Amino acid sequence: SNRLLRLLTLFWGILVGTFAIQYEGLYIEFPHLLKVFYMLLFTLFPLLYLQVKYLLSNHLKFNRKDLIHFVPLMVMIILYVGFYVKSGEEKIAINTNKSHYYVVLQIIGDEIIAIQGVIYSILALKLLSKYKQKIKDYQSNIDKMILKVQYTGISLSLFAWIIGIIGIHLDFFHVEI
């Protein structure tokens, strides 16, 4: 679980850093990075869920069956393979004047990420609740605090994620509140 948490933290850090310098012309200077960091978004919520799963279990090694959670990532990489093999100038042109294929692909990818965020957050919260009930009488104060912090963090993340999804969809359909 610690390795998964490190990987999750590393990916979040990379994404936050990328989003921060994106407005400074990162992709104009390095067009081959276009859509590379976007793919990391498909790993965040499965990693969150798996980190909780492995934290609460006695598994010492990663179960290969858990790679199923990364199927959306693999599918998106395959769908974007045509983009990745293009020249830097072509990538910039596609990103500026999006073809219908890449617009639809972006919408589908964003929806998958949104769905993953909600589903994996709920699954992680269920795991935490089930575990808390199971060992209620055997927990130390430190264990209770760790579970509460993790539960609160995931709950807040889920709430923010849902608000963000609603906001994006309202903006997409040009709905005014």
Residue 78: per-residue pLDDT: 95
Residue 45 has pLDDT above 60, yes or no: yes
Higher pLDDT, 142 or 156: 156
pLDDT in tens, 81-133: 999 999 989 988 888 887 888 889 989 999 999 999 999 999 998 988 887 77
Average pLDDT, the chain: 83
Mean pLDDT over residues 28-41, rounded?
Answer: 86
Q: What is the pLDDT of residue 142?
A: 57
Give the Å distances, CA to CA, from 132 to 57, 117, 140.
Answer: 12, 22, 11
pTM of the model: 0.76
Least confident of 14-28, 52-66, 95-109, 138-152: 138-152
